[in-house]
Amino acid sequence: MIALIPARQNSKRFPGKNRASFNGTSLLELAYAGAVSSNVISEVYISSDDEELLETAKDLGIFVPFIRQTELAQDETSTWEVVLDFLDRSGYVGDVCILQLTSPKRLPEDIRMLHTIFSQADCDFALTVKKSGEENNASLGWLCSCNAKITETMECDDAISVIPNGSAYMLHSSSVGRHAFSNLVGVGAHLMPGGRSVDIDYEHQLMDAQKKEDL
What is the predicted pLDDT for the residue at 77? Answer: 80
What is the predicted pLDDT for the residue at 213? Answer: 52
Domain extent at residue 45: 2-211
Q: What CATH number does the domain containing 175 carry? A: 3.90.550.10
What is the predicted pLDDT for the residue at 215? Answer: 42
Domain count, the chain: 1
What is the predicted pLDDT for the residue at 139? Answer: 61
- Give the other-Cβ count within 10 Å of 58's Cβ: 12
Let me know: does 63 contact 46? Beta carbons within 8 Å: yes
What is the predicted pLDDT for the residue at 72? Answer: 81
Up-side HSE of residue 135: CA atoms within 13 Å toward CB?
Answer: 0
How many whole angstroms separate alpha carbon 177 and alpha carbon 102?
22
Residue stretches of the chain with pLDDT short of 70: 12-13, 134-139, 213-215
Let me know: does 64 contact 54? Beta carbons within 8 Å: yes
What is the predicted pLDDT for the residue at 214? Answer: 45
Q: Name the pTM for this structure.
A: 0.91
Length of the chain: 215
